Amino acid sequence: MNISKIANTLEGSEIIKISGEINALKAQGQKIANLTIGDFDSNIFPIPGKLTDNIMEAYGSNQTNYPPAEGVVSLRDSVSAFIKSHFNLDYSAKEIQVSGGSRPLIYGLYMALVDPGDRVVYPTPSWNNNHYCRFTGATDVPVQTSAANNFMPKASEIKPYLKGATLLALCSPLNPTGTMFSKEDLEEICDLVIEENKSRSASEKPLYIMYDQIYSQLTFGGQVHYNPVSLRPELKDRVVYIDGISKCLAATGVRVGWAFGPEHVISKMKTIIGHVGAWSPKAEQVATGKFLTQTADWNEFLTSFKGKVQKSLDTLYQGFQKLKADGFAVDAIQPMGAIYLTIQIDYLGKKTPAGEVLKTGADLVFYLINEAGMGIVPFSAFGTDPGMNWFRASVGGCSLQDIEEMLPKVGEALAKLKVES
């Protein structure tokens, strides 16, 4: 049967494939620390109790009909105040678009700005930009980053690709690495975008930045989150932010996300998202709008939640540093933000006890699932070469005890690997 070109070119999620394997093994009774999905075990990381109360109250008052296409006014007003309070950015309710999490917002932004053949520049590793390029028929331009700069892009790496591009897709704290922009690096990239737009004629499309900061509230160790418009206010008409409660409130299933940016883009995103029907449920919108104003409850939850996430990240990081000190060919980047740890496991090309050669990051992942009870994701799932020896570990889906019990098994599994003869 003939199907569309888009359907033929889209690829399934490597993360979901790995997670499916883990779930199958767990169903057989195997104990596995699932560090794959960028989600939370809600029994370990429940949403704020006050938010739950707000949701139940909203359903009790029959907030169950269609919401406005742009999002309920009370939520957009609360988001406007939240943006001002947390980032000192001025965006009115009409410059804010709500949807069912951040994915429809990213899709809506791509659809609003990108025509078939337009060039979209994004660093790798990064999350899903390659798939959104396929949705829109864009020419994707992945820019490889390096461990030397914590896999965050530098202006010098991006500069050769910006001429004529329509969109530069950035994220900080970054999924999959949990690393963040320095002030200097982001300033230099912003200056490139300003310079590029000045070089274009009035008849040319400008270059926009999509700035995904869904993890901006989850930073650790004194790290500071920076954003383009705060650093370069003249970019306000050229930046669209992606944000929401999914990660900072462990509320991935509540489905409340928002974008904010120039009204001429946000209004088109409203139309696109409205036609798709990708709204956030009305009761959850009303509840979230109320919770954003309950500052004491917000701060109390976030402080406790961040402490638990950081403890898991630090335990995993320290465990890999111990393995490194013990002579294993591993490393990790100290956690900065989000719920991810970047891990290097340099064992590609080695043989398993069964005589199989680990040729790709995915091969090593499945070996460690079976031998060490650890599920992680290769960077190849985020647009890098399959032979790359770096991996993402997400701590939201398992307990601190699971991580502690898993770490010795990793060393035992790696010790079994042999040099290919």
CATH number of the domain to which 354 belongs: 3.90.1150.10
Q: Write phi, then psi, for 357 (nearest 5 degrees).
A: -85, 130
Structure tokens, 79? 């988001």
The per-residue DSSP string of 1-39 comes to: ----HHHHH----HHHHHHHHHHHHHHTT---EE--SSS
Structure tokens, 337? 């933000």
* CA nearest neighbour of 9 among 111, 101, 116, 144: 116
Instruction: Render the burial of 305-322: b for 16+ CB within 10 Å, e for the rest.
Output: bbebbbebbbbbbebbee
Q: Which one of 294, 321, 351 terminates a domain?
A: 294
Is the per-residue pLDDT at 326 higher than 70? yes
Rounded CA separation 119/89 (Å): 29
All residues at 6 or more sequence positions from 43 whose CB lies less than 8 Å from its CB, including other chains? none
Is the per-residue pLDDT at 13 higher than 80? no
Band (pLDDT 50/70/90 cuts) for residue 282 is very high
Q: Are residues 219 and 351 in the same domain?
A: no
pLDDT value at residue 372 = 96
- As a whole number, mean pLDDT of residues 225-243 equals 98
Q: Which one of 239, 261, 294 terminates a domain?
A: 294
Is the per-residue pLDDT at 420 higher than 80? no
Least confident stretch, 11-15, 239-243, 339-343, 352-356: 11-15
Q: Are residues 273 and 313 in the same domain?
A: no
Torsion angle of the four alpha carbons 319, 405, 47, 38, in this order, in degrees rounded to the nearest 10: 60
Q: Are residues 259 and 332 in the same domain?
A: no
Q: Are residues 162 and 275 in the same domain?
A: yes
Task: Answer yes or no: are the C-beta atoms of 216 and 176 closer than 8 Å.
Answer: no
Is the per-residue pLDDT at 364 higher than 90? yes
pLDDT value at residue 9 = 79
Structural domain including 205 reads 49-294
On whether residue 373 sits in a domain, the answer given is yes
Rounded CA separation 270/162 (Å): 27
Is the per-residue pLDDT at 421 higher than 60? no
* CA nearest neighbour of 343 among 374, 370, 367: 374
Band (pLDDT 50/70/90 cuts) for residue 1 is low
Q: Which residue has the tokens 């869904």?
A: 214
Amino acid symbol at 39: D
On whether residue 337 sits in a domain, the answer given is yes
Q: Quick one: 98 exposed, middle or buried, by C-beta within 10 A (0-12, 13-18, 19+)? A: buried
Q: Are residues 303 and 290 in the same domain?
A: no
Q: Which residue has the tokens 């998202």?
A: 273
The proportion of the chain whose per-residue pLDDT surpasses 90, expressed as a percent, equals 90
Is the per-residue pLDDT at 10 higher than 90? no
- As a whole number, mean pLDDT of residues 164-169 equals 98
Q: Are residues 236 and 207 in the same domain?
A: yes
Rounded CA separation 148/421 (Å): 32
On whether residue 420 sits in a domain, the answer given is no
Structure tokens, 35? 């560090």
On whether residue 421 sits in a domain, the answer given is no
How many structural domains comprise the chain?
A: 2
Q: What does the pLDDT look like over 182-223, one tens digit per residue?
A: 999 999 999 999 999 999 999 999 999 999 999 999 999 999
Q: Which one of 278, 294, 310 terminates a domain?
A: 294
